[in-house]
Chains A and B, each alone.
Chain A
Amino acid sequence: MKKSNKKILSEKQVLHIAKLANLELTSKEVLKFQSQLSEILNYIKVLKRVETNNIKPTSQVTGLKNVFREDKIISSLTQKYALENSKKKTKDYFKVKAIF
Chain B
Amino acid sequence: MLNQLTIIQALKGLQEKKFSSQELVKDCLKNIDRVDKKIGAFITVSRSKSLEKAKKVDNLIKTNPSIFKEKPLLGIPMALKDIYSTKGIKTTAGSKVLADYIPPYDATVVKRLKKAGAIIIGKTNLDAWAHGSSGENSDFFPTHNPWNLKKVPGGSSSGSAAALSSSQCLMSMGTDTGGSIRQPASFCNLVGLKPTYGRVSRYGIISMASSLDSIGHFTKTVADSAFVLQITAGQDSLDATTPNVTVPNYSNKLTKPNKELKIGLPKEYFSEGVDSQMRKTVEIAAGLLEAQGHEIINVSLKTTKYACPAYYIIQPAELSSNLARFDGIRYGNSRSFFGDEAKRRIMLGTYTLSSGYYEAYYLKAMKLRSLIISDFKKVFKEVDLLLAPVSPFPPFNLGEKVNDPLKMYLSDVLTISVNLAGLPAMSLPCGFTNDNLPIGMQFIALQFKEEVLFNVGHQYQQLTDWHKKRPNI
Contact = CB atoms under 8 A, between A and B. Distances in A.
Partners in one complex: yes
Interface string A34-49: 0011011101111110
B347 A33 contact: yes
A56 B364 contact: no
Contact of B368 (A36, A47, A96): A47
A62 B197 contact: yes
Contact of B328 (A13, A17, A87): A87
At the interface, is chain A mostly helix, strand, loop or mixed?
A: loop
A62 B367 contact: no
A67 interface: yes
B343 interface: yes
Nearest to B353: A20
Contacts of A46: 305-306, 309
B102 interface: yes
B387 to A, nearest CB: 22
A24 interface: yes
Contacts of A82: 104, 330
Contacts of B102: 84-85
A73 interface: no
A21 to B, nearest CB: 4
B456 to A, nearest CB: 23
Contact of B344 (A36, A55, A61): A36
B211 A64 contact: no
Interface of B: 101-102, 104-105, 196-198, 211, 237, 240-241, 243, 305-306, 309-310, 312-313, 320, 324, 327-332, 335-336, 338, 343-344, 346-348, 350-351, 354, 360-361, 363-371, 373, 405-407, 409-410, 420-422, 447
13 contacts: A17-B347, A22-B335, A33-B343, A37-B348, A48-B364, A50-B371, A60-B211, A62-B447, A69-B240, A77-B105, A85-B101, A85-B104, A88-B329
